[in-house]
Amino acid sequence: MFIYIRCENTQLLGLYLSAGYSTTDVEMLRSETPRDVLERAGFLSANAATDIASRLQIAFERILPKGLQCRIVLMPEMSEPGSAFMRVEWFGKNEALNHTKLQWHTGWAEKVWYA
């Protein structure tokens, strides 16, 4: 997996994840692995990119500090079979932008205030 930390375009600042996977391997796993094993492994949908994003979300939730909320958002407009492109968003107040309420943000997590 390739992790791209920052995008230089100020409208796209943030943490982005790109995961490459073999569509042939995914098809083989789905056809040769029992359904209950696939479900336990997180292969629940027909879209491998969705499953990868879901498993990353679960991994993030296990390692993040208490009170800090992040979510993995799949970006289908930039993804294609064999490649999943995702954005990490955080929940809180962005004081740098004078936000007064908690909401989901992309980028500038170093300024986060969370309740």
DSSP 33: S
Convert the pLDDT of each residue in 42-87 to its tens digit: 888 888 888 888 888 888 888 888 878 888 888 888 888 898 888 8
Average pLDDT of the segment spanning 80-97? 83
User: pLDDT category, 12, cuts 50, 70, 90?
Assistant: low
Cα 44 from chain centre: 16
Which among 59, 57, 58 is positioned nearest to 71, based on CA atoms?
Answer: 57
Q: What pLDDT does residue 113 have?
A: 40
User: pLDDT category, 110, cuts 50, 70, 90?
Assistant: very low
DSSP 3-state of 115: coil
Phi, psi of 101 (to 5 degrees): -125, 155
User: pLDDT category, 21, cuts 50, 70, 90?
Assistant: confident
